[in-house]
Structure 1
Amino acid sequence: MNKVKSMASVQQNRQIRYGITEPISLVGPTELDVTKTKALEKYLQDAGLYESNDEALRREEVLGRLDEIVKTWIKKISRDKGLSDETVEQANAKIFTFGSYRLKVHGPGADIDTLCVGPRYATRGNGFFGELHRMLSELPEVTELHSVPDAYVPLMGFKLNGVSIDLLYAKLPLWIIPEDLDLSKDSILQNADEQTVRSLNGCRVTDKIFRLVPNIQSFRTTLRCIRFWAKKRGVYSNVSGFLGGINWALLVARICQLYPNALPNMLVSRFFRVYTQWRWPNPILLCSIDEDEGSSLGLQVWDPRRNPKDLLHKMPIITPAYPCMNSSYNVSASTLRIMTGEFQRGRDVCAAMEADQWDTLFEPFGFFEAYKNYLQINISASNVEDLKKWRGWVESRFRQLTLVIERHTYDMLQCHPHPHGFHDDTRPLQCSLFMGLQRKEGVEAGGGEPFDIRRTIEEFKQTVYGYMLWVHGMEVSVSHVMRRSIPSFVFPGGVRPLRDSKGTRDSKRSSEQRVSSTVSSSSTITSCERRGGKKRKLGGDETLTDQLRNSKRVAVSVHVENGEDGSPNSSAGSICSAPMKVGESHPVEKIDIPQDSHSQESEEVEDNFGFRNQVVKQIPSKDAFSKGAVEVEELEDVPMQRPVVTPKASVQLRKPIIKLNFTSLSMTNAKNLRAC
């Protein structure tokens, strides 16, 4: 019976085109694919990614209780406004869900993203963050209540009967909110303020994704797998400059469109194959950006031809619901490089993997073993409530530190922010963030040229101290720590793992190279995929405070080396001004990162989609873009050339220290181009 349904689904998907391009392959699953998919589903089950039936029922009860609360709240608001008895009787507010819970890819203990839709007389300030906040604070089943009214998308967070809730608010220009309200219609945005438009976007995008994927169940299983992988590999964090839940959902949905008849195990493999070869910043689009649909609303959509800021986006992933926006604007050059490397690793692992060996793909990334030099950002406050607010603010600015370091070092010093913070049990009012550092591969060291990032760190701290709700006791410090001095509380159980010897590391590196070489010989699309569909061309789918509080500087020089494979060399020595004890750190002044003598050459892109040595035109014509024709752009043949490197005179033993210049981004990009 299931086989008959599968055949019917394949036949239906052959007749329907999903997305803005023709699919890469219409081939259905083989018996081996069915076996691998069952093994993948079992692995995800054993990993504890699915909630129990009792927990699912408990969440439904909590959502029902929340709906009762907001309905009581809106009737009180209508009475306080002096509205008629009939209006008070009909007064209504409605709860919608979105995000991982709405997509049904959430796990045990995950929070629920919710949206409260209210009428025109229930304001966001006095109504939502005022009266509703007061009502929630008086309920015994509500705990950990906090408001973030000044966020890009204002929200309240709390726990209701132990279930975490993030509650947004949208005020519609209606006197009565109907129970059958449809948020998918663009007319719902008429006369809505910007905060309401952004709050509605989560629900509208989630509903649109369901209509744009060929098989919802395959999409959900694949997305659950990719989310688990991203968290294990440390690339799941929108606030740190990586990708968040909606970003990964859009990426997976695009793969489902390109392979409409594939099972989850096939989709996971194709996910890594496609995005390893994707030519960023070509955008990911699930549907065409049709401005005519909402032209009467006049809302700004993502369009690099009209909006110069859109040209700066490194990894545009465009939301399908009007107004179409780039959901991944937080991505920087460094985080894009890290994610691209993880895509390549995932592709290699999937190509070499046997039927049920998924452990290697989900192997956690050893962040504190990958680099030799780190920045440690310590966040402290006088009490728990202040620490919670202060930490949230500093984490929201953490991405800015990556950006200013990239800008002030002309992208020659690469940063890897850790997506999560760490707590020291001995210091309950302090938490720490970490960032790995290394010199850009291929950049000559110039005899140990140091990166002077003193003013960069000062600028970041001044931005952080510009927090409007800052109170005495909120402090932040930035210091440099070597790998051997990383505090023990960042490791599981507070136990520092034994370091591998150099021989062991070399053995691992050789093993990885053997796997990579094996994969490269078998990474082309199979002949059955070429027969199943037409061979196609892949289209592009704070202000600073005037005064720095409590900041100190101590000069110290840091020396970092890259290994033979471009990764940090753990055997390189340090030339700090004084020996460092375990757990000791120093405020950062200069970072000195010499380049290795043997740089790894970039691997040539496989010709899986028939575009070897080709590039996609990034910005199509206006008419083509608006009509969704961006997917069938012609590809230009361009020669692949090695970068020209001009040798330096042997008498020049040391280049001058890189001085920090506060130049514009365009000047920085120009300097980078001249350096290439």
Structure 2
Amino acid sequence: MTNTEVLDDYLESYLKENNIIESREEGLKREKVLSLLNVTLSNFTRAVSDENNYKGKDISCLLIPFGSYGLGGYIRDADIDIVLICPLMVKRKDFFELFPKTLHQLPAIRGVEIDVSFVRLRENSIDQNIDLLDNRYLKGIHDTCKASMDGPRVNRFIKNQIKDEQHVYIFQRGLQCIKHWATMRQMYNKPIGYLNGSSWTLLLLKTYMDVRNTPQLTIYHLICSFFNKWKDWPWPTPVLLTRDIPGENNQRLEYRNLPDFTDAVMPIVTPCYPVSSAAPNVTKATLKIMTREFERAAVILEGRADPKDTIRKLFNPVEYFKRYHDFITIITSSTTQSSYETWQRKMPNIIPQLVQMIEKSPDLKCIQPIIKPKLITLNYRTNEARKALEMGMSVDEAKQLDLNGQFNPGTVNLIYFFIGIQTESSCQCLDISDYVESFEKLLHSRRTKYDDDVRWYVAALKRKKVKDIVFYNA
């Protein structure tokens, strides 16, 4: 057995032993969910027919899984992304009012989350063998439906590139390795400035297209090529998966004319019309982090260490408390559940703008937004204690203020986002006050009439204080 075959065996063993990939039983559970969905689809079409008085008309719809599940490259506990493709006679209103009732008829199957999107084509019926890559199906449909078609179309494009049956398996396992690696190294988050499953998949596909003619391709060879390719990629040179960028009516587009890519730091062009940016929130700082991680992985995989040790090192979790002494902490506080949930979704999309401001500083050596926020809900007795918590003080410090403050008990929800920073050795003090002021104005501009209870505070905290917050009630 060759060294690469040994590494393949260790990679697969690692994924199974560490529950990164599902067991056969768990996979069968997912297949059962899809089977049940397809069986109950007739209930939905019957309900649509009754609701709209479509007597005697046959309504054909189609459920298609896409995303990582559709490719077979998903990791454990991932959602199943499905698109419901319907003919013109099925309205969006029908989907939102009648399809949930269909889902409620399904027997409860725990542990499987499903994300269903809706597409209404301008067709009288849906061919069960529909060619998703045929652009004519996009003509005249609603923009939301057009966006929902992108995932399934990209999936079909990817499958078309991988013809060899053994290569399909290699690509699936390689994708699982890359996704787990990106998760462990804190880079699996598109909104906050890294990449998501779709963009990691496209980078792996680009790598595969380079090496697919390699005799006896292995998982190890594929992921090795992946890290070597992207550590040296001359960004912002765009990543293209097609020879020409597809436009409407089979036109060829020029990259320089694509508005989505103006000033793009890590341009990855999706392969199907209408094209978009697969990595829109990447900043110079997060690209630097990812490039450093590509380099680290390439060195590990090309080393002479024991194969088992090589795989362990590759997937070691990053410890940002060892990497950074100083952190910028963005604290979002609220008193209502709706604001708490809304700003958990909003904040990751806004933080890259603060990173972009700070990374301009010549005194900054490295800046890394941490992908996972800390969520804490606390009771307080006084206004002073609440304000202390909102400004990053510890629970113990806030309790001291409770002793002498104005009694006004309540509950506060706190969302902490952390950005690790490292300054140049010559820097005595990093002044980011202007950036913080601009960022706070930006946050206030995103406020709506529904979240008057929301407050923000940006604090500079040392490692110990951040650890106390992160591990509070952990």
Q: 1:93 is matched with which residue?
A: 61
Counterpart contact for 1:71–1:94, Cα < 8 Å: no
> Does 2:294 align with 1:343?
yes
1:450 to 418, 423, 431: 431
Q: 1:370 is matched with which residue?
A: 323
Counterpart contact for 2:133–2:156, Cα < 8 Å: yes
> Does 2:34 align with 1:63?
yes
Amino acid at match of 2:459: S
> Does 2:161 align with 1:179?
no
CA distance in 1, matches of 2:266, 2:362: 19
Q: 2:399 is matched with which residue?
A: none
Deviations 1:352-405 (A, max 9, x none): 233332111111111223222212233444454553333112333333332344
Q: How does 1:216-615 map to 2 (within 5 A)?
A: 216-260=168-212, 261=214, 262-291=217-246, 295-296=248-249, 303-352=254-303, 353-357=305-309, 358-384=311-337, 386-406=339-359, 409=361, 415-424=367-376, 429-439=413-423, 445=427, 448=429, 450-452=431-433, 453-466=435-448, 470-491=450-471, 494=474
Change (3 A) 1:67 1:406: farther
Amino acid at match of 1:271: F
Change (3 A) 1:102 1:282: same
Larger radius of gyration, structure 1 or 2? 1
SS at match of 1:424: strand
Amino acid at match of 2:205: A
SS at match of 1:360: helix
- The alpha carbon displacement at 1:435 in A equals 1.4
Amino acid at match of 1:289: D
CA distance in 2, matches of 1:129, 1:410: 51
Structure whose residues are more often helix by fraction: 2
Amino acid at match of 2:285: S
Taking structure 2 as the reference length, what is the TM-score of the superposition? Answer: 0.82
Change (3 A) 1:185 1:492: farther
Deviations 1:249-280 (A, max 9, x none): 11112222222223111222222212111101
Counterpart contact for 2:436–2:458, Cα < 8 Å: no
Deviations 1:209-263 (A, max 9, x none): 1221352111111111111111110011111110111111111122222222231
- The alpha carbon displacement at 1:316 in A equals 1.4
Q: How does 1:37-52 map to 2 (within 5 A)?
A: 37-52=8-23
Amino acid at match of 2:432: F
> Does 2:114 align with 1:165?
yes
SS at match of 2:458: strand
Counterpart contact for 1:302–1:324, Cα < 8 Å: no
CA distance in 2, matches of 1:50, 1:268: 17
Counterpart contact for 1:304–1:311, Cα < 8 Å: no
SS at match of 2:415: strand
Amino acid at match of 1:355: P
Give the fraction of aligned pairs with identical amino acids, expressed as a percent: 25
Change (3 A) 1:50 1:314: same
Counterpart contact for 2:77–2:111, Cα < 8 Å: no
Counterpart contact for 2:208–2:222, Cα < 8 Å: yes
CA distance in 1, matches of 2:91, 2:160: 32
Q: 2:75 is matched with which residue?
A: 107
- The alpha carbon displacement at 1:204 in A equals 0.9
Change (3 A) 1:78 1:399: farther
Deviations 1:31-71 (A, max 9, x none): 22212211221122212122122221221222233334554
SS at match of 1:359: helix
Change (3 A) 1:129 1:332: farther
CA distance in 2, matches of 1:75, 1:385: 36
CA distance in 2, matches of 1:76, 1:216: 39
- The alpha carbon displacement at 1:410 in A equals 8.0
Counterpart contact for 1:406–1:412, Cα < 8 Å: yes
Unaligned runs of 5+ residues in structure 2 are: 380-411
SS at match of 1:378: strand
- The alpha carbon displacement at 1:188 in A equals 1.9
Amino acid at match of 1:401: L
Amino acid at match of 1:233: R
Unaligned runs of 5+ residues in structure 1 are: 1-29, 143-159, 495-676
SS at match of 1:170: strand
Amino acid at match of 2:421: L
Counterpart contact for 2:377–2:413, Cα < 8 Å: no
Change (3 A) 1:47 1:201: same
Q: 1:645 is matched with which residue?
A: none
Amino acid at match of 1:196: C
Counterpart contact for 2:248–2:274, Cα < 8 Å: no
SS at match of 2:457: strand
- The alpha carbon displacement at 1:122 in A equals 3.0
CA distance in 2, matches of 1:116, 1:310: 30
Counterpart contact for 1:377–1:478, Cα < 8 Å: yes
Q: 1:128 is matched with which residue?
A: 95
Taking structure 1 as the reference length, what is the TM-score of the superposition? Answer: 0.59
RMSD value, Cα? 2.9
Amino acid at match of 2:273: Y
Counterpart contact for 1:49–1:106, Cα < 8 Å: no
Deviations 1:104-131 (A, max 9, x none): 122332211111112223333x333344
SS at match of 2:30: helix
Change (3 A) 1:410 1:120: farther
Counterpart contact for 1:303–1:310, Cα < 8 Å: no
Q: 1:577 is matched with which residue?
A: none
CA distance in 2, matches of 1:403, 1:114: 35
- The alpha carbon displacement at 1:286 in A equals 2.5
